[in-house]
Every structure is written in C-alpha cells, then in structure tokens.
Amino acid sequence: MHEFCKESDVAILEPQQVSECTCCLGVLNGTFSAKVLADVRQLVEKADYDVKDFALNIKLPGVVLLREYSLLHFLRSDTEKFSRKILFDVKDVLKSLLAPSISRMLSDAECVTTGDFAVLLDVKHDESVDEVRQIPSIKKQLEGSRKRNRGPLPVFDGFGAVSRALAALKTMPGTIESPPIRLTTTPRAVITLERDPVYMQGRYLKFQRGLSQTPWVLDGKRMGESSVEECIGEIALPFFRGSGYKFHTAGREDVDVRMLGNGRPFILEILDSCTRTASSNADDSAEDYSFCQVRGA
C-alpha cells in the first residue's frame, strides 16, 4: 500500500508517536478510567463505608476548556456549518463512564447530584498546566501578581477563571495555538472519599472535680488523665467508625468545678464516619453518651 500511494502521488501520513486526545487530555481513554476505578475500589474496600447514595464530584484542569475552545475554532474555520456549541461536556461524559461501576462498588448506591457522601476526583496534567497563560487576560494577571507579590502565584487555571477569560475574548488571540498541540503524557487523578460530619447533641454532667473539659496540655506535658471531651468522644467514635471528632459546648467550667443541674449542652462532631447511624450494639451503652453523665476516666 505504501508503494502504491507513492507511485500514485498520494500523500502519505507517516506513523507518529501515539498521543493523548488533544481536547480531553486523555481522561476519556479507557485506560485512564480503568486506573481510576481500580484506585476507587481500593479505597472503598479499605474504608468499608455504609452508603445509600453518593455524589461523584470531578475537577478537571481549566486547560480542557482552552483546548475545547481552540479545537472548535479550528473546526469552524475549516467547516462553515460546524456547530458553534459544545455538544457534550467532558466532565459529564467522564461521570457517565465511572458512575455505574462506582455504584456497584458501593452496594448499588445511587449516584446523586449532592449527598452527604462524595467521591472526589481531582484530575491533573502536568504537561499542559501552563497552557492557560496563552490567554492574554490570564497572562496579564499572572505578570501583575508576580510584580506585586513575592509569595506563590495565585491560581488562575481553575474552570471558573478560564471560562470567564475565554468568554471575554472577541477574536481568537494569536497566542493561542489552534488546533491544540499533541500531548505525550497521560493525566493523573487524586481520589478522595469524603463524608459530611455526623452530629450528636446532648448534655453532660460532671460529678468529679479535677477533670478538664478538653485535653489539658501545659508546656508540652499532659495534665490530668482524661477530659470530658475524651470521655464522650472515645465512647461514641467506635459506633460510627469515624476518623476523629470535635467537641463543641455552650460555655465551659473550670477544671476544679463540677457540672450539675440539667447538664451542659454539647455537640459532638464525628468526622468521616463510615456509617451515619450508630450500630445496633450501641443500644446497651446509649445511656453512657446520650445524656453523658461523665464520672471521670
């Protein structure tokens, strides 16, 4: 075939190095999706979350918008009747590729727009990170910030900043390459599983003097054996399988003062809990933390 084309004066495109998609950076590539799903599965199996629904939040680098803009400009200049609108959003397509598999990993949990449990996917692509500087307004902002500040440069490559900068363009700047240049590296994804805090409220009574409300550390040395916060938090935390907790109260008493009467109101914030409701075996210990009669460690 090569010889035939040569004899017939047919243009031959020589084989080139395989590159990622010049528009989506390769995030719609099956290999990328498979890697993301494998990483999500590993995190899900390790944490063992109990969820009924989840939100899939995807953050793409702003350069995707720039490359879409550049590619559409090239296609419109080459084809008069080419659509002036982007028919499919890259983020929506990627979400449709990933959501069904993630749902199965989470025991058929429903994928919703917003929820208390979220799978966060932050896509990064180092090779194209500086391309947004092709946009004149962003380049001007970066140069101005560099002159004024000695610290790290502000971030101008987010979706919002790039979208506003492109919307303000009236003509295609000569600084933007069209069509976009080829890419030789693949994107990477930083994946995080995140759950909104669970809040417990109640009142605590303290019958023992010498018990501080929160852990008491003086000059790096722990004072006292325990605290009200730890007495309540360490009891509640295992039932929700959380990563930690924060203790909030309406005022405080001195370490050498008891707390009697109706008790002091408090809220216990359980962080990143694997379950939102206390397990059934918590019933026998409910009195230990629902009204929180603290008697010391």
Round to whole Å and give the CA distance between 65 and 160. Answer: 10
pLDDT digit string (tens) for 205-247? 888 888 888 787 777 777 777 888 888 898 889 989 999 999 9
pLDDT digit string (tens) for 19-57? 578 888 889 988 999 999 999 999 999 988 999 999 999
pLDDT at 83: 64
Cβ 198 vs Cβ 244: under 8 Å? no
| pLDDT block averages, 10 residues each, the chain of length 297 | 48 52 86 94 92 93 86 77 70 94 94 93 86 76 60 62 78 81 88 93 86 78 80 89 91 81 89 80 46 42
pLDDT at 214: 79
Is pTM, for the whole model, over 0.75?
Answer: no
Tell me which architecture the domain covering 198-294 has in CATH.
2-Layer Sandwich (3.30)
Round to whole Å and give the CA distance between 186 and 28. Answer: 11
Cβ-in-10-Å burial (0-12, 13-18, 19+) of 270 comes to buried
pLDDT at 196: 93
pLDDT at 67: 87
Task: Please give the biggest Cα pair distance in the chain.
Answer: 101
138 φψ region: left (φ > 0), alpha (ψ -120 to 50), beta (else): alpha
Q: How is the chain split into domains, by residue range?
A: 18-145+153-194, 198-294
Place of tokens 């953050």: 59
Round to whole Å and give the CA distance between 188 and 29. Answer: 12
